[in-house]
Amino acid sequence: MQTAIFGGGSWGTTLANLLARKNGSARLWVREKELASLIRTKGCNPWYLPELELSPNLFVSDDLAQVTENAEYFLFVVPSQFYGGVLKTVREHLPKKPVIISGSKGITLDTLQTMSEVTEDTLIGLKPVFAMLSGPSFAKEVSKGMPTAVTLGCKDKTAARAIQDLLSTDTFRVYTNKDVRGVELGGAFKNIIAIASGISDGLGFGTNARAALITRGLAEMSRLGVAMGAQAQTFMGLSGMGDLVLTCTGDLSRNRQVGLKLAEGHKLLDILGQMKMVAEGVKTTESVHALGSKHKVELPITEQVYQVLYEGKDPLTAVHELMHRELKSEQ
């Protein structure tokens, strides 16, 4: 069972290493020749995850033909805005019925699509089986072998079971869920609320405020998700509530870090300019803001995060406006 992994960031490297250790081999495609070469010579990924010693069973290259040779599973772990572009380049190396797994959590800015929709559009003419891997999983913790549980969204029962077996280890437990739309929307949406939670904590508000954001964020995520065809129950699981709690409370979250810095008064462009890693929530806020209008779903927290990120609104004013909305029933 050969797996090709695309994306040499922290999550791609972690998953590739997990697969190489578990299955005896895996192949990682890295966009930059320099990084591929550094990983091979140093035995670690010095740019994104230097502390993880990589398995000698992991093959690393910037050559798509070598990485895809004889592969049965194709795991994409690039930032979501680049997912379609990378998939398009890989297409010529894919079999007729490829198994595509996405570890990318986001919604495209230009087309407002989830990763399953991008896959469908990009692979017209092939018959891909799509699976979305999501849930509370900081790469740093997974790479250290700390216990983690995640969800695999996949409509095809047989493929879901096979991928579950492929990825599960003693410390990485994979559940399956048929609701692909719910799994991918939860993973994308939680990043917006993580930014909000970072803002709130950075302003010095307490755990009451954070708990309110998580809970009302969950309501917001579920409302939009159901309007887009997801099942409400999915948002109560690992890919919804689970990842929401993780990224709103865990300081390893890059999205939460963006919120903390915004609260300190830093400008968005300066914050992003100093980050090598991706904070998906920044672009997803814009995509979800547009999806809210499209589906006529009220998204008050997203609206405030959008205004802070893109209209220069003062974070304190955003909190004030959230607290002064018309009083209403919880349901």
Ligand X SMILES: NC(=O)C1=CN([C@@H]2O[C@H](COP(=O)(O)OP(=O)(O)OC[C@H]3O[C@@H](n4cnc5c(N)ncnc54)[C@H](OP(=O)(O)O)[C@@H]3O)[C@@H](O)[C@H]2O)C=CC1
Among 254, 261, 283, 289, binds ligand 13P (CB under 6 A): 254
Using the minimum distance from each CB to ligand X, give the nearer residue, 50 or 229: 50
Residue 116 CB, nearest approach to ligand 13P (Å): 17
Which residue, judged by CB position, is nearest to ligand X in the bound state?
9
194 binds, among ligand 13P, ligand X, none (CB under 5 to 8 A by kind): ligand 13P
Residue 127 CB, nearest approach to ligand 13P (Å): 29
Question: Applying CB under 6 A, does 174 fall inside the site for ligand X?
Answer: no
The CA-atom distances, in angstroms, between 34 and each of 46, 63, 171 are 11, 12, 32
Residue 70 CB, nearest approach to ligand 13P (Å): 30
Using the minimum distance from each CB to ligand X, give the nearer residue, 253 or 304: 253
Q: Does 10 appear as a known binding residue? A: yes
Matching residue, tokens 């890989």: 90
> What is the pattern of x (binds ligand 13P, CB under 6 A) and - over residues 90-129?
---------------x------------------------
Question: Applying CB under 6 A, does 205 fall inside the site for ligand X?
Answer: no
User: How many CA atoms are closer than 13 Å to the CA of 32, on its beta-carbon side?
Assistant: 10
DSSP string, 20-38: HHHHS-EEEE-S-HHHHHH
Question: Applying CB under 6 A, does 86 fall inside the site for ligand X?
Answer: yes
**Hey, what amino acid is at 187?**
G
> What is the pattern of x (binds ligand X, CB under 6 A) and - over residues 131-170?
------xxx-------------------------------
What's the per-residue H, E or C state across 210-258? Answer: HHHHHHHHHHHHHHHHHHCCCCHHHHHCHHHHHHHHHHHHCCCCHHHHH
**Hey, what amino acid is at 297?**
V
**Helices first, then strands: H and E counts in the chain:** 15, 8
Question: Applying CB under 6 A, does 27 fall inside the site for ligand X?
Answer: no
Matching residue, tokens 């048929």: 178
Question: Applying CB under 6 A, does 44 fall inside the site for ligand X?
Answer: no
Residue 190 falls in the annotated catalytic set: yes
Question: Applying CB under 6 A, does 190 fall inside the site for ligand X?
Answer: no
Contacting range for ligand 13P; rule: CB under 6 A; set: 96-104, 196-204, 248-256, 308-316 = 248-256
Q: Which is the catalytic residue, given 22, 190, 261, 283?
A: 190
Q: Work out the angle at residue 128's Cα, subtended by the Cα atoms of residues 236 and 2, and round it to the nearest 5 degrees.
A: 90
Question: Applying CB under 6 A, does 101 fall inside the site for ligand X?
Answer: no
Contacting range for ligand X; rule: CB under 6 A; set: 74-82, 199-207, 213-221, 309-317 = 74-82
| Encoded tokens for 320 | 């004030």
- In 3-state terms, what secondary structure has residue 75? strand
Contacting range for ligand 13P; rule: CB under 6 A; set: 163-171, 240-248, 301-309, 311-319 = 240-248
Question: Applying CB under 6 A, does 79 fall inside the site for ligand X?
Answer: yes
Sequence-separated contacts (24+) of 242-245 with Cβ below 8 Å:
242/135, 242/136, 242/149, 242/151, 243/134, 243/135, 243/136, 243/137, 243/186, 243/187, 243/190, 244/186, 244/190, 244/193, 244/194, 244/214, 244/217, 244/218, 245/136, 245/214
262 CB-near residues (< 8 Å, 6+ apart):
195, 198, 199, 202, 268, 271, 308, 309, 315
Binding residues for substrate, as ranges, are: 105, 254-255
Binding residues for NADPH, as ranges, are: 10-11, 31, 48, 105, 139, 254, 278, 280
- Indicate which residues carry an active-site annotation: 190
Binding residues, as ranges, are: 7-12, 31, 48, 82, 105, 135, 137, 139, 190, 243, 253-255, 278, 280
